Amino acid sequence: MEKILIVDDEKDLFWTITNLLNDEGYTLMVANDGKNALIQIKDASPDLVILDLKLPDINGIDLLSKIKEIDSNIPVVILTAYGEVSSAVSAMKMGAIDYIIKPFDINELRSSIKKALHIRDISLNRKTKGERLRGSQDSEGLIGNSPQIHNIIEQIKIVALSDMTVLIQGESGTGKDLAAKLLHSNSSRSHKPFVTVDCGTLPESLIESEMFGYEKGAFTGAEKTKVGIFELANGGTIFLNEIGNLSESAQRKFLGILENRQLQRLGGKKAIDVDVRVIAATNLPLKGAVKDGKFRQDLFFRLSQLFIYIPPLRYRVEDILPLAKYFLNKANLEIKKEVKTISPEAEKKLLLYPWPGNVRELKNAIKRAELMAKDSTIRMEDLSFDFESEGTLNASCSHLDLAKDVDHQFRIDVRKAMNELEREVIRKALAQAHGNKKKAAEILGIRRSTIYYKMESLGMKTDE
């Protein structure tokens, strides 16, 4: 039974929430100030804290910081009538899970509580499995400082705990196979086989016999029974790389395995049970193949229960130099050289190049440069790739601009989200004040003229 601590100096609030959540099965506790809240958090270790930002003895943001110092895994939901956007942003930056403004809707509160407890469970499971991803020292394609890579690592941490089918999409060379290996090594199947099938290089005539196996005499040359790849992966994970190359017949049989967890060897008459987790990857959008009738829609839906997208290297410029330095250190061990640095001019050349071959191409370029280096530094002349065509030169100049465009678009999206949050705050304040703008302004702690200005700038109608 989860314990929820409500930190608020309004006595009526505790009883209101108690009555509303009475049938939810939670153990509810209350603290009317920050000092008492910290004592209960240390002594009782609640599973969730519902925190008012306005307390008699301490600022709610400061209390949130102290809670995170005691236990960073305790989820905190902010509950306050003082719904200024700056407070909301500060609370979320400090680690709050959610932000709800009084008067609150009970369904909104229930949803927020369930989300917070679910995130806590995932975090605790991750702690049990180890904070760092197992096998992360080999995740060379997933190193960097970009938000995209950080997001992918977080996705892998969470998705690895599930046993659901995963579809990984990304251009060739982005590290889809590395993501698949990390998913396996951090799952409950890590002690079982991880089997890779490259559907792009396996001849179509051999796909079914290799994947599903065959019985003796099933076809000319089948002199003995052969166990297929799915059976070899039993209990573990099978990684189907470039799954878009599967034939229609193989797609149909593969769908049957996903639905029934059974297969039938070529020439066989009995069904064989298999217990495998399936991770598939493609360098082309499968939705287009479905639309063109080249890939089964039902199989696509089965494969994409969970989805991970790995963007190309040219869209995450922040990762180029960290990856280059990682590959440099790795090449030192392989080649037995002591090349320790990359000159500023060489770094600039690395950043300007669009990397059509993605991480794989960068790895090879650094290894070649290390071989060519005359001393302990890689210089621009040691990098052998060239901007040979106008198209490549244009790409090299534009991919940094694209990164700037992405950043600009991100700021636009944030501004839109913040505007919508301000609209929602004003709507709720007006609802609480029964449409009286002066009272709504008092609830929000702003001047009446400010609320008129905000409504006009946000395009809100005066009678909204």
Instruction: Please write the tens of the pLDDT for every residue from 7-18.
Output: 988 877 777 777
Separation between Cα atoms, residue 210 and residue 203, nearest integer Å: 10
According to DSSP, the residues that pair with 198 across neighbouring strands are 241
Return the closest-CA partner of residue 388 out of 357, 364, 353, 345: 353
Q: Which span out of 36-45, 248-257, 264-273, 393-402 was modeled with the highest average pLDDT?
A: 36-45
Cis peptide before 103 (omega within 30 of 0): yes
Average pLDDT estimate for 156-181: 87
State what percent of residues in the chain have pLDDT above 90. 11
Residue 144 has pLDDT above 50, yes or no: yes
265 HSE (CA, 13 A, CB side) = 20
Separation between Cα atoms, residue 265 and residue 224, nearest integer Å: 12
Whether 156 and 306 have beta carbons less than 8 Å apart is answered as no
Give the dihedral sign, CA 385/386/392/397: positive
- The whole-number pLDDT of residue 237 equals 92
Separation between Cα atoms, residue 118 and residue 41, nearest integer Å: 19
Mean pLDDT in the chain? 79
Q: For residue range 407-447, list pLDDT tens digits in order.
A: 444 445 445 656 676 777 788 888 888 888 888 887 776 77
Decide which of 195 and 205 is more confident. 195
Q: Which span out of 115-124, 174-183, 223-232 was modeled with the highest average pLDDT?
A: 174-183
89 pLDDT band (50/70/90 cuts)? low
Return the closest-CA partner of residue 250 out of 228, 273, 274: 228
Average pLDDT estimate for 364-380: 91
Q: Is 377 left (phi over 0), alpha (psi -120 to 50) or beta?
A: beta
Structure tokens at 241: 């790389």
Return the closest-CA partner of residue 181 out of 170, 169, 193: 193
- The whole-number pLDDT of residue 56 equals 87
According to DSSP, the residues that pair with 277 across neighbouring strands are 237
Place of tokens 């070899």: 232
Kindly report the pTM of this predicted structure. Answer: 0.56
- The whole-number pLDDT of residue 125 equals 53
- The whole-number pLDDT of residue 391 equals 41
Structure tokens at 347: 């770094």
- The whole-number pLDDT of residue 342 equals 93
- The whole-number pLDDT of residue 28 equals 86
Residue 123 has pLDDT above 80, yes or no: no
Phi, psi at 221, each rounded to 5°: 100, -10
